[in-house]
Amino acid sequence: MKLHDKTFEPFLSKEEIANRVAELGKQITQDYTNKELYIVVVLNGAFMFASDLVKHIQLTSDMSFIKVSSYQGTETTGIVRDLIGLEGDVNGKDILLIEDIVDTGGTLSHLLKMFGDRGAKSIAIASLLFKKEAYQKEHAIDYVGFEIPNKFVVGYGLDYDGLGRNIPEILKLNEN
């Protein structure tokens, strides 16, 4: 599939994604039994993952959305910009932060500091994708859908300069 000037090829099927998302939802439900979660979804990329994941989390929960950006094209800029801030009060709450992808960890560190400064009781991270070899931070990723190599991917909410979010599977950049 061609998006802008780049070609992408299949990487993770929609069936693989659906099965793993269901497993993660069941695990989160088990880990937070008798607790109320405050779910925070990082837009834009995590919207599909979050939509499917929360259907499998059988707990009382509140939900909010934030939007930050650190990418330009296929590269992270290293600078995190807040585009839409957190609206709810997280003081004393158990937070589940839903991310599309964790690579260097810059965005994640920014968000963890923000929640910590606002008095969150606990913060767990659920990320559909995790690029372990690119990760430069120490905070554990609590719920990982798939550990992937340090390759650029699109689909299932992730984009390349605005295109590809609506693709139901994950595609990787064809480097040939």
- Residues classed as catalytic: 103
Select from 132, 164, 168, 172 the least CA-distant residue to 10.
Answer: 172
Calpha distance 100→174 (Å, rounded): 20
Helix, coil or strand: residue 14: helix
Asked whether the beta carbons of 164 and 171 are under 8 A apart, the reply is yes
Q: Using DSSP, how many helices (H) and how many strands (E) does the chain show?
A: 3, 10
Instruction: Report the SS3 class of residue 13.
Output: coil
* Residue 74 DSSP code: T
Angle at 105 between CA 87 and CA 23, to 5 degrees: 80
